[in-house]
Amino acid sequence: MDIKSAKQRIEELRGIIEYHAKKYYDDDEPEISDFEYDMLMNELKSLEKEFPDLVTEDSMTQKVGGHVKEGFSQVTHKVPLQSLQDVFSIEELEEFDKRVKKQLNGKAVNYVVETKIDGLSVALEYIDGKFIRGATRGNGLIGEDVTENLKTIKNIPKKLNEKVNITVRGEVFIGSKEFEKMNEEREIMGETLFANARNAAAGSLRQLDSKITATRPLDIFIFNVQSLENNKFNSHNEQLNYLKKLGFNINPVHNYCTGIDEAIKAVKEIGENRDSLSFGIDGAVIKVDELDLRETLGVTAKTPRWAIAYKYPPEQKQTILKDIVCQVGRTGAITPMAILEPVRVAGSLISKTTLHNEDFVIEKDLKIGDTVIIQKAGDVIPEVVSVVKEKRTGNEKDFTMPKVCPVCGAPAVREEGEAVTRCTGIECSAKALRSIVHFSSKVGMDIDGLGYSIIEQLIDRGLIKNISDIYTLKLEDIASLKKNGKKFAQNLVDSINKSKSNDLAKLITALGIRHVGSRMARTLAKKYRTMDNLMQASFEELSMQNDIGEVTANSIYEFFRQSQTIDLLDKLKQANVNMESLEEESTDNRFEGQIFVLTGSLEKFTRDEASEIIERLGGKTSSSVSKKTTYVLAGEDAGSKLIKAQNLGITIISEEDFDNMIK
């Protein structure tokens, strides 16, 4: 490659890497895998090594990736938190050893080999044994003060076993099982899933509200002494033992090795056993053990010369795609699953893996009977990479997504613009937890005390299987969930009984009909007055309503034609759950044809209350200002919507004006 081409490619790589570094370090929302990022960085390093005149100070090879997030105080690290040089082959480890020995004039070197935890690096500062401050790595020189968030992590001691002045470095992470459970709960609650455990940990620690951090299952391993008053130790290994004595949770995998051969053996063993670890790793770290030799070796602007990180390449294997079956998740998502001829990949025996959705199967051109290549993404999740098409025999079979749910038999629907096919059955056992959580939530039937964890326990104990079972719960069943749980049980029973008298609109919302939120539910309750009337409404009648489009009308119509829906509503009727609108029919349509936009802080009404009044009087509310808007109801601190309304010449009213309009 000539220098002109090299310069063009280097500039291109720097732009790509800068973008992905921001997504990874600052936004905690990676778009590519660690391996893909490492390969881009490796290409850049190779080009800069070949063309040293093209190296610049702002290159990502010359600096640590993170920045300080707005909202946090800055902390200047007394000892920089450097990154490590990455290598990807055993030969490169041997070259590292040669460089170290050359700089030490051939002196024998001992190493400590540790797991490279996949998390967020932090520094913890203690004065007289008391935890006083903690900060993220940031750019290595300046980090974010996240002391209050770090205090929520149980394995960070607030007081050490000795009164020492010490700063240590550790890695905050989320364990593999804890990560899976957390994402499962987020899926049930309809929240965005975390891409991986590393970004979940980073995002959790960098919350501006420590109460949110406290709800996340964060853990920490301490792996280095940054500074220690009256340091009497000669080696890293001695320091690790001392850290453990002080009360720190140190990296559990640290192997003392005499020479590079033992170190390489330890690296290989970690790679072979990494699937048995309870936490994610993205490599192994090899460090010179003797502290005086570290001083001699020194550091570069970005990395220490006495340590290096070995990144395990994703191992790929060929196997046979024996079958594709469909599983139903707790949200009703129907996911194709590859059944594979068992094969060992990266230490694990893989016999099945997710195929995500119908589009993934089509994109990869997968057929039952194909020979496929699989690997473990991020060393955790097995994935199908590609098909070995030259091995096709002609006996392979196409796969098609099912038209009905494989668990309950209800229609399976993939709506336009969505990648996921979903079960539409409200009593499907596969999505019972999600259905019950939504039914009981504040926007649904508002059953106080019946939250996610309680519902999960009730299902696990076989006390409830579906929504209607809520109304058959006995006091003693609920009390058995908690020690001294009689008072809790009585409160929950009272809340369940109270929910029976909710308005029809609350019940419609609680049923979780696709595309029907609380506002649409109020419209339906106002129009049809009883559940029976709504159930009997035709598609044509529903689609003629002003607020209901054809997609929503079809969703409502099909929902009430399902045997599962009819069965559930019969059971709710038997439990004396109200099926009628409690709102008095109004002949006052003074706001008919008028559209209101609410903005700013209202004092006399909540936004929901104001919206309900407007809709009861025949009007509509919208979240955005347009030429069709009739009024903008502006409270305190009204922002861009008020400005847009003024520019469009739309009438702006105060709460006092609104109050006069509804009297």
Query: Is residue 139 a part of any domain in this protein?
Result: yes
Domain membership of residue 67 (yes or no) is no
Is 589 domain-assigned? no
Query: Is residue 588 assigned to a domain?
Result: no
The structure's pTM equals 0.60
Helix, strand or coil for residue 371? strand
Task: Output the CA torsion 460→466→472→475 (10° steps).
Answer: 30
pLDDT at 28 over 60: no
Domain endpoint, select from 310, 340, 367: 310
Phi, psi of 587 (to 5 degrees): -100, 0
> Can you tell me the distance from the alpha carbon of 280 to that of 357, in angstroms, rounded to the nearest whole number?
26
Query: Which CATH number goes with the domain that contains 459?
Result: 1.10.150.20
Query: Are the beta carbons of 408 and 565 closer than 8 angstroms?
Result: no
Q: Are residues 322 and 208 in the same domain?
A: no
Active site residue ranges: 116
Count of domains for the chain: 5
Q: Which of residues 42, 62, 82 is at a domain's end?
A: 62
pLDDT at 58 over 80: no
- What distance in Å separates the CA atoms of residue 297 and residue 253, rounded to the nearest whole number? 25
Residue 583 domain flag: no
Q: How confident is the model at residue 188 (pLDDT cuts 50, 70, 90)?
A: confident
Q: Are residues 267 and 257 in the same domain?
A: yes
Distance of CA 213 to the CA centre of its chain: 13
Is the pLDDT assigned to residue 377 strictly greater than 70?
Answer: no
The contacts of residue 426 (CB under 8 Å, 6+ apart) are 435, 467, 511, 512, 559, 562, 564, 565, 568
* Residue 320, CA distances (Å) to 48, 316, 345, 369, 393 in order: 42, 13, 14, 6, 13
Average pLDDT score over residue span 466-495: 91
- 350 with 411, same domain: the answer is yes
Both 233 and 282 in one domain: the answer is yes
Give me the CATH number covering residue 8: 1.10.287.610
Task: Indicate the DSSP class of residue 601.
Answer: B
Q: What is the DSSP letter of 277?
A: -
SS3 (DSSP) at 16: helix
> 185 and 159 share a domain?
yes
The pLDDT of residue 355 is 93
CATH number at residue 352: 2.40.50.140
Q: State yes or no: pLDDT of 79 exceeds 80.
A: yes
Could you give the CA distance from residue 304 to residue 282 in angstroms, rounded to a whole number?
A: 19
Q: Are residues 543 and 437 in the same domain?
A: yes
CA torsion angle for 172, 173, 174, 175 (degrees, to 10)? -120
- Same domain? 220 vs 156: yes
Alpha carbon distance 342, 138 (integer Å): 43
| Structure confidence at residue 94 (pLDDT) | 96
pLDDT digits (tens, 9 = 90+) for 447-466: 999 988 899 999 999 999 99
Nearest to 304 by CA among 140, 60, 119, 78: 140
Which amino acid, residue 111?
Y
Q: Cα(first)–Cα(last) distance of the chain, in Å?
A: 80
pLDDT tens digits for range 390-433: 999 999 999 999 999 999 999 999 988 888 899 999 999 888 99
User: What gap in Å lies between CA 295 and CA 58, rounded to an integer?
Assistant: 27
Q: Same structural domain for residues 321 and 266?
A: no
Write down the pLDDT at residue 35.
67
Q: Which CATH number is 637's domain given?
A: 3.40.50.10190
DSSP for residue 430: G
Whole-number pLDDT of residue 64: 52
Q: Do residue 127 and residue 239 come from a single domain?
A: yes
In this prediction, residues 640-647 reach a mean pLDDT of 88
Residues with Cβ < 8 Å from 352, sequence gap 6 or more? 337, 338, 339, 340
Q: Are the C-beta atoms of 178 and 217 separated by less than 8 Å?
A: yes
Confidence of residue 68 (pLDDT cuts 50, 70, 90): very low
CATH of the domain at 249: 3.30.470.30
Question: Is the pLDDT higher at 56 or at 132?
Answer: 132
Domain coverage including residue 177: 74-310
Which tens digits make up the pLDDT trace of 506-546? 999 999 998 898 888 988 998 899 999 999 999 999 988 76
Please report, for residues 101, 330, 438, 521, 651, the alpha-carbon distance to residue 509 in angstroms, rounded to integers and kept in the order given: 70, 19, 9, 6, 33
Establish how many alpha carbons lie within 13 A of residue 120's alpha carbon, considering only the half-sphere containing its beta carbon.
Answer: 33
Residues 473 and 515 in one domain: yes
308 vs 185: which has the higher pLDDT = 308
- Do 451 and 508 belong together in one domain? yes
pLDDT at 496 over 90: yes
pLDDT value at residue 275: 75
Q: What mean pLDDT is predicted for residues 161-189? A: 89
With 80 as the cut, is the pLDDT of residue 26 above it?
no
Sign of the dihedral defined by the CA atoms of residues 526, 529, 534, 540, in that order = negative
Residue 68: inside a domain, yes or no?
Answer: no
> Does residue 587 lie within any of the structural domains?
no
Q: Please tell me whether residue 226 adopts helix, strand or coil conformation.
A: strand
Strand partners of residue 18 = none
359 inside domain = yes
Cα 577 → chain centroid: 36
What does the pLDDT read at residue 347? 60
pLDDT at 153 over 90: yes
Residues 80 and 98 in one domain: yes
Which of these three, 379, 399, 423, is where a domain ends? 423
